[in-house]
Structure 1
């Protein structure tokens, strides 16, 4: 299965010059734990970074820095790891494991932002697949009972 079937196209984005306070406000307003930092390219966006709630705690709050005085550009680290919308789920899982990340911006063939995928999205997918598999033995018994009736 391809990533485009699992990723979330509703991505919260900010610009490099947005303050950390503004980004934290966006996280609260939209109930998300990450904001994709993106540059506009025409009518589309190209992801250049990702800021998580954990980044804000570790890089700003724990260092007793003022979130009003810092911008996204000040705390994004690189290089940004992205997934391609055409990637297989297995590849994305492997990439997340290799890079030790919980969220990945998803880009199209031109490198423009398409969506975001989180560990939670993949867990929901895996759980639904396991539920489908767990129904196989019950289905087999039901079919056997029907054939023998």
Structure 2
């Protein structure tokens, strides 16, 4: 299976954006992370957890605190032509829940999350179960 289904526009931020702006984007788009870019290329990621731990818990002002102070640089990414299996392995091996998808030039084309893959795999298993239930003759050996 291909990662192309997750190449919907990733929500992005620049290093100079405020963390309040990023929080509003997360709220407006119902997401938990934004990809930080420079000239369209992935340079970092900011999660809702980052905002809580690095801004709010530290008593910083979100209206003046810039992304550059809370970003996690050099996030693990996945190439757009890689498989879902590769994305799963990267998430497991790197202990991450989100992978920006990039083209050959490092430009962001989307993002795939652990929740996305869990939903996909759950549906695949449900479809398999229906197929077994509906197509197995009771006289056959199970």
1:113-132 correspondence runs (5 A): 113-132=108-127
Is the 8 Å Cα contact of residues 101 and 112 (structure 2) preserved in structure 1?
yes
Structure 2 distance, partners of 1:24, 1:124, is: 25
Q: TM-score, normalised by structure 1?
A: 0.85
CA RMSD between the two structures: 1.5
Number of matched residues? Answer: 138
Q: How far did residue 68 of structure 1 move?
A: 2.2
Q: Highest CA radius of gyration, 1 or 2?
A: 1
Instruction: List gaps (5 residues or longer) in structure 1.
Output: none
1:85-104 correspondence runs (5 A): 85-104=80-99
- 1:45-103 Cα offsets, whole Å, 9 max, x none, are 11111111110001111111122232111111232111111111111111111111111
Instruction: List gaps (5 residues or longer) in structure 2.
Output: none
1:58-137 correspondence runs (5 A): 58-137=53-132
Is the 8 Å Cα contact of residues 45 and 73 (structure 2) preserved in structure 1?
no
Runs of 4+ with >6 A deviation: none
Range with greater deviation from structure 2 (12-21 or 69-78): 69-78
